[in-house]
Amino acid sequence: MVKLFRRLLTDDALIILILIIGALLRFYRLSDIPFTHDEFSAIIRTRFVTFHELIENGIKIDGHPAGVQVFLYYWVKIFGVSESVLKTPFIIFGLLSVWLVYLIGKDWFNATVGLVVASFVSFLQFPVMYSQIARPYASGLCFAMLMVYFWTKVIFHPQRKYYLNLAGYIIAGALCTYNHHFSMLFATMVGVTGLFYCPPTKIRQYIAAGIIIILLYIPHITILIYQLGIGGIEGWLNKPRYDFFFDYLQYIFHFSVYILLLVVILISLSLYWYRVKPAVEKKFILISLCWFLLPYIIGFVYSITRSSVLQYSALFFSFPFLLFVLFGYFKTSESIHKLILITLIGLVVIPSLIIERQHYKLFYKGIYGEIVAESKNAVDSLGPGRCKVILDTHKEINPYYLEKLKCPDLPFSYFKDLKGKGAFLAYLDSSKADFLAFGCLSSSNWENYAIITEKYPYLIKHKSYFGGDFYLFSKIIPLKRLDEYFYTVINTFEPSLPEWGWVNEKQCLDSLTIEGKKSYANKPGQEFSPVYTKGLRGLFRTENDIIDVSVDVRTPTVFPGAWLVITVSSDGKDLRWSSAPVNDFVKPGHQGRVFQSLRLSDTELRHHRLFFNAFLWNPVKSPYIIDNFTIRVRKGNPVIYGLYRKIDQ
């Protein structure tokens, strides 16, 4: 029986098992996997009539090479648009990557290394999620691994089907160049590395193959030059911190103590089973280390010195080689050892994917579809006359879910159609509805919550999603309501509160009050109002909380402008500075309330002696009156960046 079990437990059987589990993780509820924002952007850019229009208006304006967009253009024309149709090819690319990683590991080291690394590529969230996104990541990983597979045959096994493998190397390399700029960078590294190891008798053919890959890329050069000319993605992607690398490692391994412990155990086992072998395997460890580190170093330096491009997805194509560096020392060939290793990896990584990372809970709840569904439920249950709906989303995307959820006539307003804060305030003032549903993306202005609660003070429902939130507010007191505020301090200047520092009480007047007995009069020539200052860590409970600031202001009839400013400082240096113009909320000669908010998850908190500051800045030093200077802290969305950051359980 034991002998039969060992005969059945072949390397082929084990990699098939890994692929089956990987397929289950990726194809699970395929039709329920929502499109991401980037996928919608790509879908919208497939609607051109001619190929020329696609290139000019759908590809040049994007930051990626043409390959995947051209593929989607024709794929959509043939099969239409649905989650299953668009995601399936990329899931297949992801599974092919698992198989190719196994073949590379087996060739470079041994079958045990190949199986261990393939298990991680099959089970970790990083490759699982990017295989479920119809963008140039799973395809790029597949093309990169395919290039390395043929490269290995060409360089180290030239005696076997040399020209067939050389043709495969050329095709895979060309596909890398048309897929993603970082997969093109990876292909370049592979090509240059081969110059150091190529047999002298084959060097001419190898160089010729590289030249052919370059020639195949020539039609794309004009697109590349145009894309470089319009700049990068620094408008929304911050420059990386110097500890970006360690954040990336934590992200790869699910921010999980259990997976890090697993990695330590596996490395220990590999050293325990280690036997000294020829330098050939050390060579592949060195190659893996270079191929993993160079894209990171190049991306980091480019991001710091020029335009920010470094993000986790950019390192996707070189990610398996980190695993080869970590686990390339396994020498055991025992089938039972291989089964134990794969089982151990699966028992730790897969539950972490499901429970710790909440992959199927977060990733499968797309913000666009969820807020449309919640809005529909609110209108259906309360009635269109009693419930208004505002969606702070993208007009090009919403129609997809209005049609899919069979509610094309859902009455709602787009927030961006309400031009400016004044129009938003007027909309709320004029609304006769008892309830307001508000769905917003993570890019929404977070003071909108505080503005809405001025007119709809009762929160009935709050749904948190990766990428945004849905709220249902009420004017009438409900039986059940939510109170998300856990810290509030209001300076009515009767007298001034100590958090605002020293305040000249002579300027707290009872003759020009906005509310109550006294208000604070900022005299002509004063540039700053009293400043609220408090240690930031004493304000919040979690790093996802939100600080809302508001102040009542009365301005003279001629008032050039002032700004409600929020800063986060460390050792006297501002780390974050944001402002809201007073005139956006209050017309000159009138009084009203000004709002500004800070979402802590958008703030880098890994600094010492952090202070939160709020004040009015009036550079022209005009007089004005303020009252009810309010600081409130509320519970934020714990999963708003949950697919890329540690989740607060």
All structural domains of the chain with their residue ranges = 23-362, 367-474, 485-634
* Cis peptide bond prior to 495, omega within 30° of 0: yes
- Report the alpha-carbon angle 29-360-80, nearest 5: 40
Q: What is the pLDDT of residue 171?
A: 97
pLDDT in tens, 279-330: 557 899 999 999 999 999 999 999 898 888 889 999 999 999 999 999 998 8
Average pLDDT over residues 111-127: 97
Average pLDDT over residues 222-228: 86
Least confident of 194-203, 446-455, 504-513: 504-513
**Which SS3 state, helix, strand or coil, does residue 564 take?**
strand
Q: Give the separation between CA 476 and CA 484, rounded to whole angstroms.
A: 18
Average pLDDT over residues 76-103: 96
- Report the alpha-carbon angle 163-167-169, nearest 5: 115
pLDDT(78) > 70: yes
Q: What is the pLDDT of residue 513?
A: 81
Q: Give the separation between CA 436 and CA 386, rounded to whole angstroms.
A: 8
Q: Which range among 320-324, 526-530, 579-583, 644-648 has the greatest average pLDDT?
A: 320-324
When pLDDT is cut at 50, 70 and 90, the band that residue 234 belongs to is: low
- Report the alpha-carbon angle 432-436-438, nearest 5: 145
Q: Give the separation between CA 303 and CA 300, rounded to whole angstroms.
A: 5
Q: What is the pLDDT of residue 505?
A: 86
Rounded to the nearest 10 degrees, how much is the dihedral formed by the CA atoms of 94, 96, 100, 106?
100
370 neighbors 345 (Cβ within 8 angstroms): no
* Residue predicted with more confidence, 232 or 222: 222
Write down the number of H helices and E strands in the chain.
23, 15
Q: What is the pLDDT of residue 277?
A: 55
* CB neighbours of residue 95 within 10 Å: 23
Q: What is the pLDDT of residue 238?
A: 78
Q: Give the neighbor-by-neighbor strand order of the sheet with 413-414.
A: 413-414, 387-392, 435-441, 468-474, 458-465
Q: What is the pLDDT of residue 502?
A: 84
Q: What is the pLDDT of residue 3?
A: 58
Cβ-based burial of 129 (10 A; exposed 0-12, middle 13-18, buried ≥19): buried
Average pLDDT over residues 13-37: 96
Contact partners, residue 31, CB within 8 Å, separation at least 6? 82, 83, 84
| Angle of the 257-272 helix axis to the 335-351 helix axis, nearest 10 | 170
Greatest C-alpha distance within the chain = 97
Question: Quick one: 485-634 is in which CATH superfamily?
Answer: Galactose-binding domain-like (2.60.120.260)
What does the mean pLDDT of the chain come to? Answer: 91
Average pLDDT over residues 435-462: 94
H helices of 383-455, in order, are 398-404, 420-430, 447-455
Q: Give the separation between CA 649 and CA 630, rounded to whole angstroms.
A: 30
Contact partners, residue 34, CB within 8 Å, separation at least 6? 83, 363, 364, 365, 366, 368, 369
DSSP 572-588: TEEEEEEEEEGGGTS-T
DSSP 100-123: HHHHHHHHHT-HHHHHHHHHHHHH
Residue (of 175, 170, 181) closest to 224 by Cα position:
181
pLDDT(389) > 80: yes
522 neighbors 595 (Cβ within 8 angstroms): no
pLDDT in tens, 161-178: 999 999 999 999 999 999
Contact partners, residue 249, CB within 8 Å, separation at least 6? none
Q: Give the separation between CA 524 and CA 240, rounded to whole angstroms.
A: 43
391: phi then psi, degrees, rounded to nearest 5 = -120, 120
- Report the alpha-carbon angle 230-233-234, nearest 5: 105
**Which SS3 state, helix, strand or coil, does residue 533 take?**
strand
Q: Give the separation between CA 288 and CA 328, rounded to whole angstroms.
A: 10
| Angle of the 67-79 helix axis to the 83-108 helix axis, nearest 10 | 130
331 neighbors 110 (Cβ within 8 angstroms): yes
| Structure tokens, 73 | 């253009």
Q: What percent of the chain has pLDDT over 90?
A: 74
pLDDT in tens, 616-626: 999 999 999 99
480 neighbors 466 (Cβ within 8 angstroms): no
User: Which element (helix H / strand E) includes 422?
Assistant: helix 420-430
Q: What is the pLDDT of residue 2?
A: 55
When pLDDT is cut at 50, 70 and 90, the band that residue 5 belongs to is: low
* CB neighbours of residue 552 within 10 Å: 19
Q: What is the pLDDT of residue 140?
A: 97
Give the CB-side neighbour count of residue 379, counting CA atoms within 13 A: 17
Q: Give the separation between CA 140 and CA 318, rounded to whole angstroms.
A: 10
What one-letter code names the amino acid at 631? I
Q: Give the neighbor-by-neighbor strand order of the sheet with 563-570.
A: 532-535, 610-617, 563-570, 573-581
When pLDDT is cut at 50, 70 and 90, the band that residue 275 belongs to is: low
pLDDT(274) > 90: no
173: phi then psi, degrees, rounded to nearest 5 = -65, -45
DSSP 62: S
User: Which element (helix H / strand E) includes 615?
Assistant: strand 610-617
Q: What is the pLDDT of residue 276?
A: 56
441: phi then psi, degrees, rounded to nearest 5 = -85, 170
User: Which element (helix H / strand E) includes 371?
Assistant: helix 367-382
Q: Give the separation between CA 564 and CA 580, rounded to whole angstroms.
A: 5
| Angle of the 319-327 helix axis to the 257-272 helix axis, nearest 10 | 50
Give the CB-side neighbour count of residue 349, counting CA atoms within 13 A: 28
196: phi then psi, degrees, rounded to nearest 5 = -85, -20
**Range 243-252 contact pairs with CB under 8 angstroms and sequence separation of 24 or more:** 243/606, 244/300, 244/310, 245/296, 245/300, 248/296, 248/312, 248/315, 250/646, 251/126, 251/312, 251/644, 251/645, 252/124, 252/126, 252/319, 252/322
Q: Give the separation between CA 5 and CA 29, rounded to whole angstroms.
A: 33
**Which SS3 state, helix, strand or coil, does residue 32 take?**
helix
pLDDT in tens, 558-582: 888 899 999 999 988 888 999 999 9
| Structure tokens, 432 | 């006769």
DSSP 307-332: -----GGGGTTTHHHHHHHHHTT---
DSSP 556: -
Q: What is the pLDDT of residue 419?
A: 82
Q: What is the pLDDT of residue 7?
A: 60
pLDDT(233) > 70: no
User: Which element (helix H / strand E) includes 475?
Assistant: none
Q: Give the separation between CA 385 and CA 107, rounded to whole angstroms.
A: 68
According to DSSP, the residues that pair with 615 across neighbouring strands are: 565
